[in-house]
């Protein structure tokens, strides 16, 4: 009979087991919490880099797919190849459009010290797309970055040179490559410098002869 009475828990036993359980669970969840936190930080960095690299990929492919689009300049009554660029801005015509639209799309990338790198897209149709750009609202594609563009010109068979300006109406062709360097505006965000180097194999217009001085 005495033995049967002993079969319950004493208060002390219950207290001890509860404390032990609480301690164990506490330690476990604290450990797991920190792991989850770390993981989330890691993945948000990964997601951000993925986003950025997608932007870079699109820009790169749109440049690879540049097309020597020509238009008539109504003032000079002559036909010119469209590709305009300086250090802070680049405008070109590409077969790529983010909506996979049929036909040619004109791209404009502008680097702004306040708003970052901005993109505007418009159909190229058969004329100079410049007028259409200004009516459209640009989209910011890289918020905390400025861009600097340079253009590779092929002067002779073996003479190439990087320029910081490209005027389609003078060159009557496209550069054979474009180099873009994206630099973070705010260094404190710990973001890397990004680069795009795209070669343009379609740099010559079908009929219009390039007018590149051989210097």
SS3 108: strand
Q: Cβ 208 to another protein, closest distance in Å?
A: 11
Quote the strand ranges of 26-176, DSSP E. Answer: 70-73, 78-81, 84-85, 89-94, 105-112, 116-123, 139-142, 145-154, 160-163, 166-167
Residue 143 and residue 111 in contact, taking contact as beta carbons nearer than 8 Å: no
| Minimum CB distance to another protein smaller for 13 or for 192 | 13
Interface mask toward another protein for 9-48; x: CB under 8 A:
x---x---x--xx--xx--xx--x--xx--xx--x--xx-
69 touches another protein (CB under 8 A): yes
Does 209 engage in binding with another protein (CB under 8 A)? Answer: no
Rounded to a whole number of angstroms, the minimum distance from the CB of residue 1 to another protein is: 13
| Minimum CB–partner distance for residue 146 and another protein (Å) | 25
CA-CA distance, 97 to 63, in Å (whole number)? 11
Question: Binding to another protein (CB under 8 A): which residues in 111-150?
Answer: 123, 125-128
Cα angle at 80 between 85 and 100, to 5 degrees?
65
Interface residue with another protein, options 3, 156, 209, 213 (CB under 8 A): 3
C-alpha span between 198 and 178 (Å, rounded):
5
Reference 203, options 181, 180, 179, 172; nearest CA is 172
Given 15, 30, 72, 78, the residue binding another protein (CB under 8 A)? 72
Determine the interface stretch with another protein among 60-68, 136-144, 145-153, 188-196 (rule: CB under 8 A).
60-68
Residues 6+ apart with CB under 8 A from 95: 65, 67, 104, 105
Residues engaged in binding another protein (CB under 8 A): 3, 6-9, 13, 17, 20-21, 24-25, 28-29, 32, 35-36, 39-40, 43, 46-47, 50, 53-54, 61, 64-65, 67, 69-72, 74, 79, 95-96, 100, 102-104, 123, 125-128, 201-202, 204, 206-207
């Amino acid at each position: 009979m005495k033995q049967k009475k002993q079969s319950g828990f004493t208060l002390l036993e219950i207290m001890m087991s509860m404390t032990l359980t609480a301690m164990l669970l506490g330690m476990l969840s604290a450990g797991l919490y920190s792991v989850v936190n770390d993981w989330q930080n890691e993945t948000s960095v990964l997601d951000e880099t993925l986003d950025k690299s997608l932007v870079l990929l699109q820009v790169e492919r749109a440049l690879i797919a540049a097309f020597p689009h020509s238009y008539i300049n109504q003032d000079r009554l002559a036909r010119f190849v469209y590709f305009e660029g300086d250090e802070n801005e680049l405008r070109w015509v590409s077969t790529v459009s983010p909506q996979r639209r049929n036909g040619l799309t004109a791209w404009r990338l502008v680097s702004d010290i306040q708003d970052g790198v901005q993109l505007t897209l418009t159909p190229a149709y058969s004329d100079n797309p410049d007028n259409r750009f200004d009516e459209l609202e640009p989209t910011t594609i890289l918020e905390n970055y400025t861009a600097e563009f340079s253009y590779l010109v092929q002067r002779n068979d073996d003479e190439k040179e990087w320029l910081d300006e490209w005027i389609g109406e003078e060159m009557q062709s496209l550069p054979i490559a474009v180099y873009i360097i994206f630099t973070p505006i705010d260094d404190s965000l710990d973001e890397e410098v990004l680069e795009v180097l795209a070669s343009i194999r379609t740099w010559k217009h079908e009929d219009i002869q390039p007018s590149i001085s051989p210097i």
